[in-house]
Each structure stands twice: as structure tokens, then as C-alpha cells.
Amino acid sequence: TVQIKMNRVPVMLERTDNVICYLRLDAANARMLDEVSLSFSDDTDLNNIMAVRLYYSGTEAPQYNGQLRYAPVQYISRDNPKYVRDMNPTYSIVKSTVQPTSHNIRMEANQQLWKGINYFWVSVQMKPGTSLLSKMSLNIDKVLLDGKTAVLARDTQDPYIFRMGTGLRYAGDDNLAAYRM
């Protein structure tokens, strides 16, 4: 079973990485994540999307056994000026990058799994000039483990509509460590 949790926050237009959803899987009976297939809703304008990425971010720490977590760390920092627009490469490995040309995309992972909980996440990067009025919706359709379709357990069956946003200021802008509104 692969547990899927949608990240319910706006897609920030100036970011390289926006966490769209988390995938959590227990590798008790699987050795390899082969691929993740997803689909955008028909009303999603693919011309606004620069890239969709699948990341692998490791395994669960022993002290969190029995807790339902979807990420071992925060992948995109709010405070570190170096990583407020991009993911921190210390915690994630890009497994696949796709520029969507159709509403259905397949992302090859070919990632060996380790015993216990393994974490993955999907990111989207929008093209410069995308309107703040744009919306996007996607769904994880299929996950292949060892060549077999996994059971998907979603946090909700309702599709989530992502709205666009832009940051007024980020940590590091004008050489300042942080901003407060």
C-alpha cells in the first residue's frame, strides 16, 4: 500500500520546487519503486507547467516508528536563504523530471527500497509569467512496485485544486535573514 497525502498550499510561481504530494510506502514486501503515473485535470493548462519532478527522500528514522509521518524533514526551507525557492539537495534525490505534453504522465523512479518506510514526493515548477488566476489539479493514478500495481490509500478522495501564489519577500532577499508581515 502506498499512502498519498496532497499538500494543501498554493503553488509559488517563483519556486523551482513546490511540494504537491507526499508518497509514503512500507517496503516490507517490495524491493523497487518502478514508476509513478499521474494525471492533470482537463482544465489544467499544461503550457503553464515547466517541470514535474519525482524525488526520493529516504527512510523513516527509528524514533518515529509507529507514527504516521509523510516526510522526514521539511524539504523546502522557510528560513534558509539558500533553499527557500529550491529543495534542499541534502534531503532529496531527483528520480524523474518531466515536462508534461499530455495530461497523463509517467515518471520512472527505478529506486531501490529499504526495509521500513520510504518517502517520495512530487514537485511542480511553473513557467515565468503564469497568471495568479491559474489553477491546477492532479491525481496519482498508479504506482508500480516490483512491476506490480500497488494499492493507493489517499488522505482524501476529493481532487485538490491548487491555486497560484507569489511570495512578497523570502529569507535572504536584500541580504536579510527573514521577513515578518
Answer yes or no: are the C-beta atoms of 90 and 149 closer than 8 Å: no
Give the global pTM. 0.87
Report the C-alpha gap between 6 and 20 in whole angstroms: 6
Q: Which of 2-11, 29-38, 41-50, 162-171 has the lowest mean pLDDT?
A: 162-171
pLDDT-derived band of residue 168, with 50, 70 and 90 as boundaries? confident
- Distance from C-alpha of 143 to C-alpha of 36, rounded to nearest angstrom: 5
The values of phi and psi at residue 128, to 5°, are -60, 140
On the question of pLDDT at 48 being above 60, the answer is: yes
Give the per-residue pLDDT at 129. 94
Is residue 179 pLDDT above 70, yes or no? Answer: no
Residue 63 has pLDDT above 60, yes or no: no
Report the Cα 75 to chain-centroid distance in Å.
9
Q: Which residue has the cell 512491476?
A: 147
Residues 15/112, Cβ–Cβ less than 8 Å: no
User: Tens digit of pLDDT for each residue in 94-112?
Assistant: 999 999 999 999 999 999 9
Listed residue (24, 21, 19, 116) closest to 61, CA to CA: 116
Q: Give the whole-angstrom CA distance, residue 154 versus residue 36.
A: 14
Grid coordinates belonging to 41: 485535470
**Residue 108 backbone dihedrals phi, psi, to 5 degrees:** -75, 135
